[in-house]
């Protein structure tokens, strides 16, 4: 760590890992200490360390070709790229979504989804006509009408990334944003629910209605192209809302002719017991876009054909994704389906939530599948708990001010849950 600090800032690092010796749900540190990993590289490891599916993939000649010859996918994708798109992304595409745009990270996914929303709304306004000379000239000086004053509406405590647009939509922690110029985009209050939800229905419904009312008020004051929302606000403290809230939010989008973007960067790919967390909402129609990254190992967003820009090069960059990561994504989908990992997540998630709810030392236990969190008394006690858990052999993470978040892999079993619960008792 000291040697690395000569070249890179190590202040955010918990420990140095030895990935060669890590296996399954266990991570090994550089000193030879093995820990049950319930944080999983910030919720991004889906099927365990050194999974044979990945190790065997590395021996595949097609994988080796992709690794040795990285394609600029917008110019000359390899002949097997369409196979990767179909086997990885389209096999699990959210209902009603026929297109996918691949990028490099979750922030990139949200950033390009925002761009898509702006381009779609601007095209509708000009009646799908060609750009005017004034638009083409003014945009080069960052001026209207070519650079219109449109916005993305997001929510308090939300996190959507660290690039300029995604950061402007973020409101989880001030340290993420301070000193960085930002777009003046509106933010509605995300409903602050009480848990367990079924014991506070009247209060929670009131909070959700207040939030929805504020959304409509902001839409009257701002030129909004899209609303972006996480199914569970992960970095902001694992904040939940009811399926009814999200159905009403989509209805507001439709009424106001704006797009509905669901940010599934952290919740997607099985963590909540369904492949996509928004499946639990029972929406009447699909969202307009769904962004993904983390557990998929690849990143991008799904969209409907109607949102594809009229001109080429408008959604574009050098790599436009990574064939190596797409092959990994296909292997992840195979493992999830072949080993019925979504059923495992539901079963283990229910088991964990039941036992956590019985622990009176924990506050506001909430979760969907194995995507679970609880609160401790103060930020100081939370931070000490995280340190104590690692010292006792279990790696967990925090979010929000005083929240502990559990982000187990999809392969996390009941006996792993028992180890976690027993270790928590010792740490508490």
Q: Which residues are catalytically annotated?
A: 159, 263, 294, 318
- Rounded CA gap, 194 and 240, in Å? 9
* Best CA proximity match to 94, nearest among 274, 250, 259: 274
β-pairing, 363-368 vs 371-375, is antiparallel
């Amino acid at each position: 760590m000291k040697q690395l600090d000569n070249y890179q800032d190590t202040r955010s690092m918990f420990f140095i890992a030895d990935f060669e010796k890590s296996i399954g749900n266990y991570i090994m540190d550089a000193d030879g200490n093995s820990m049950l990993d319930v944080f999983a590289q910030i919720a991004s490891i889906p099927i365990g360390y050194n999974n044979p599916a990945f190790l065997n993939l590395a021996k595949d000649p097609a994988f080796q070709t992709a690794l040795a010859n990285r394609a600029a996918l917008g110019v000359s994708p390899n002949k097997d790229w369409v196979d990767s798109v179909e086997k990885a992304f389209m096999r699990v595409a959210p209902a009603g979504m026929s297109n996918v745009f691949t990028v490099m990270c979750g922030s990139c996914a949200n950033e390009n989804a925002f761009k898509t929303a702006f381009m779609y709304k601007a095209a509708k306004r000009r009646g799908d006509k060609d750009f005017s000379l004034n638009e083409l000239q003014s945009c080069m000086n960052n001026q209207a009408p070519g650079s219109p004053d449109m916005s993305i509406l997001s929510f308090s405590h939300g996190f959507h990334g660290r690039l300029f647009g995604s950061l402007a939509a973020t409101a989880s922690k001030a340290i993420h944003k301070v000193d960085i110029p930002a777009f003046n985009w509106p933010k509605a209050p995300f409903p602050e629910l009480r848990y367990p939800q079924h014991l506070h229905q009247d209060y929670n419904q009131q909070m959700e209605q207040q939030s929805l009312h504020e959304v409509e008020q902001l839409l009257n004051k701002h030129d909004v192209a899209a609303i972006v929302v996480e199914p569970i606000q992960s970095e902001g403290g694992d904040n939940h809302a009811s399926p009814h809230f999200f159905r009403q939010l989509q209805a507001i989008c439709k009424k106001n002719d704006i797009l509905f973007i669901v940010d599934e960067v952290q919740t997607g790919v099985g963590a909540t017991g369904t492949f996509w967390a928004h499946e639990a909402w029972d929406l009447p129609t699909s969202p307009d876009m769904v962004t993904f990254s983390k557990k998929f190992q690849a990143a991008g967003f799904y969209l409907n054909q109607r949102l594809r820009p009229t001109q080429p090069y408008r959604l574009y960059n050098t790599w436009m994704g990574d064939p190596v990561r797409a092959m990994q994504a296909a292997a992840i989908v195979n493992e999830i389906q072949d080993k019925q990992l979504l059923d495992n997540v539901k079963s283990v998630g229910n088991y964990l939530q039941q036992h956590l709810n019985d622990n009176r030392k924990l506050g506001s236990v909430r979760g969907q599948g194995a995507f679970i969190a609880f609160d401790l008394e103060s930020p100081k006690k939370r931070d000490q708990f995280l340190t104590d858990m690692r010292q006792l052999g279990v790696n967990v993470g925090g979010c929000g001010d005083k929240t502990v978040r559990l982000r187990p892999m999809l392969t996390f079993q009941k006996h792993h849950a028992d180890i976690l619960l027993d270790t928590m008792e010792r740490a508490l």
